[in-house]
Amino acid sequence: DGEVYKYYSDGEWKKSSSNKSVAIINPTTRKTQYKVQACSQEEVNKVMEIAKVAQKSWAKTPLWKRAELLHKAAAILKEHKAPIAECLVKEIAKPAKDAVTEVVRSGDLVSYCAEEGVRILGEGKFLVSDSFPGNERTKYCLTSKIPLGVVLAIPPFNYPVNLAVSKIAPALIAGNSLVLKPPTQGAVSCLHMVHCFHLAGFPKGLISCVTGKGSEIGDFLTMHPGVNCISFTGGDTGISISKKAGMIPLQMELGGKDACIVLEDADLDLVAANIIKGGFSYSGQRCTAVKVVLVIESVADALVEKVKARVAKLSVGPPEDDSDITPVVSESSANFIEGLVLDAKEKGATFCQPYKREGNLIWPLLLDNVRPDMRIAWEEPFGPVLPVIRISSVEEGIHHCNASNFGLQGCVFTRDINKAILIGDAMETGTVQINSAPARGPDHFPFQGIKDSGIGSQGITNSINMMTKVKSTVINLP
Ligand code: G3H
């Protein structure tokens, strides 16, 4: 009906003076579902200016009051779970139940963050000088954690609400102000979530949300001199942001190719269940999805049979019906996935199901006998297509895992805990899960990737610490 969602600046909902909008295409209908403002660079400048001013007084607001407001926002967010989840269904085709879970998880994250912030920011250190050679006990050093300033948060389409609040809440509890640039798909869900923070009564200008085209405001935001920290989750864009950003702390999470190594003694039913959950939930559009199965040849036939039987039970259809497999986020994403599938076909992979696609909806597909010369052995489909590589030794599996340019998570299945620990240690990833599929949560666990998977560590505690710096005051005694 031509209505364009407003952006949020200075505690108000505003129309962009650009008079331009960005369309959000519903992945299921492939028609325009919503429109958001295409903010201009001048509007970004204004938001940055306001954020800088608002941060100064926010940093002086008592910690317990900051926590109180966050608890309030968390409660409002949970109260509004239904309309926000509905947007997630329409914008990113997340299955209805998972969409509700995302919002509830987000509320819990905000509350936990408020509590954790009160604890860890409520204490500092006291050091004395005479522990270092040559010093008398004449200096007392007091340290505390102070905010960085303005934090820029850029979440991805797959968790627009949850991966926004996982940046917003730590930034705010630590005394920073926050500028949010939502992904295009998921922008309206983000605006609704921001409205919950608005209703909670945060000071004007402390939180802003600018929507628009990456080509117009993307680099402008990330290279803006007013930004003191960037927390980004997404794809390759993160690599270019890290090259262009100034001398500021960066928190980046850029995807993965999480390997699932299966030993001959593994409980194959448990493995199959985890491959389904890990590889196909939200149609494989999770950075922590299982993206390659590396199974010892002697149990490969049995495992593939078990996974095949479970794939056959997955429901395929629209997110409104709470289908297991829903349309992938965009046509270009579906085309990319198809490219990987066709390459695997040409090079002789075994198709456990026929390849089927309608619009952006791709039926779940298990590809057996994948070899290292196939693109799918290395690239991240971000879709419901999972390659199986048969290996003759554990070393071969570890080697494949470590040869990847990614290093987010990985998992190993075996009943032998000693082997599991040794394999886990040998896998060059930020996290290794023993006998379960990779996952970020629970959200207070550290979450990090190495190599092209990211910079820094997330999780509630680490994010709070990352969004602060240490300030020392030294008392010099006569
Ligand atoms: O897509 C990236 C997310 O950080 C993964 O989170 O493991 O909870 O799905 P998840």
SS3 state at 126 = strand
The CA 401 to ligand 1 mean position distance, Å, reads: 19
Closest CA to 279 of 261, 259, 250: 259
**Phi and psi at residue 62, to the nearest 5°:** -50, 145
The CA 17 to ligand 1 mean position distance, Å, reads: 36
Is 253 in the active site? yes
The CA 333 to ligand 1 mean position distance, Å, reads: 18
Question: Given 287, 352, 401, 411, which residue is catalytic?
Answer: 287
Closest CA to 383 of 408, 356, 347, 345: 356
CB 444 within 8 A of CB 463: no
The ipTM of this complex is 0.97
What is the chain's pLDDT, residue by residue, as a tens digit (478 residues)? 469 999 999 999 999 999 999 999 999 999 999 999 999 999 999 999 999 999 999 999 999 999 999 999 999 999 999 999 999 999 999 999 999 999 999 999 999 999 999 999 999 999 999 999 999 999 999 999 999 999 999 999 999 999 999 999 999 999 999 999 999 999 999 999 999 999 999 999 999 999 999 999 999 999 999 999 999 999 999 999 999 999 999 999 999 999 999 999 999 999 999 999 999 999 999 999 999 999 999 999 999 999 999 999 999 999 999 999 999 999 999 999 999 999 999 999 999 999 999 999 999 999 999 999 999 999 999 999 999 999 999 999 999 999 999 999 999 999 999 999 999 999 999 999 999 999 999 999 999 999 999 999 999 999 999 999 999 999 999 9
Is the backbone of residue 451 left (phi > 0), alpha (psi -120 to 50) or beta? left
CA 156 to ligand 1: nearest atom: 1
CA dist 364 to 281, 318, 324, 338, Å? 10, 14, 10, 12
Identify the residue whose C-alpha is closest to ligand 1 atom 6.
440
